[in-house]
């Protein structure tokens, strides 16, 4: 028979165990701090790189003499409109800081425009019909690959299964097995 003192055996901690425990805890804390500092450094470097990329994307692409489109802010935020979001093309006369002065048919616009509202204008390539001599563009004909053929075959098989189920559920051909029904639908 065990008494209460037997059940409540409290382990005794020696000074050596205490020192080992303190060393382990300090070692774990040091490793955690090292990992935290490396994670912070990597995150900081990534944020700096992303910030630089965002800033250079906005303004590097545009220079004087470029043709650009101008964002119409009022129509861009409205729902359900059929108006164009951008107007133009305009030509950049000069750039001053983060603003640009635009030319429309040789005439300057009244107000300067923020570079944030501009995007590069890309000219459409000239496409002529084959009957007219001149530059033409050829569109390559895409051949279906095996995956597309498999998808189309499985879609057709699924449609046939649905059709046969509808016919069987209607009670028109209850005596025929489904495979014979599918073969007849294919032949028809």
Burial of residue 36 (number of CB atoms within 10 Å: 0-12, 13-18, 19+): exposed
Q: Where are the alpha helices (DSSP H) in 61-177?
A: 73-77, 146-170
Residues 38-56: pLDDT tens digits? 999 999 999 999 888 877 6
pLDDT confidence of residue 110 = 82
User: Which range, of 12-26, 48-62, 170-184, averages the lowest pLDDT?
Assistant: 170-184
Confidence of residue 76 (pLDDT cuts 50, 70, 90): low
The residue that leads in pLDDT, 184 or 100, is: 100
């Amino acid at each position: 028979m065990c008494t209460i003192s037997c059940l409540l055996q409290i382990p005794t901690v020696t000074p050596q165990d205490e020192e080992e425990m303190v060393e382990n805890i300090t070692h774990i804390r040091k490793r955690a701090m090292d990992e935290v500092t490396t994670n912070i450094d990597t995150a900081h470097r990534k944020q700096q790189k992303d910030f630089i990329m965002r800033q250079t994307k906005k303004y590097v692409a545009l220079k004087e003499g470029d043709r650009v489109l101008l964002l119409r802010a009022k129509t861009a935020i409205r729902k359900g409109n059929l108006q164009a979001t951008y107007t133009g093309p305009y030509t950049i006369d000069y750039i001053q800081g983060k603003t640009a002065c635009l030319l429309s048919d040789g005439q300057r616009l009244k107000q300067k425009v923020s570079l944030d509202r501009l995007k590069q204008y890309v000219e459409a390539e000239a496409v002529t019909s084959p009957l007219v001599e001149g530059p033409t563009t050829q569109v390559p004909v895409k051949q279906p690959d095996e995956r597309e053929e498999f998808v189309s075959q499985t879609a057709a098989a699924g449609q046939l299964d649905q059709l046969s189920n509808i016919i069987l559920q209607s009670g028109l051909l209850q005596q025929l097995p489904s495979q014979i029904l599918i073969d007849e639908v294919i032949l028809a």
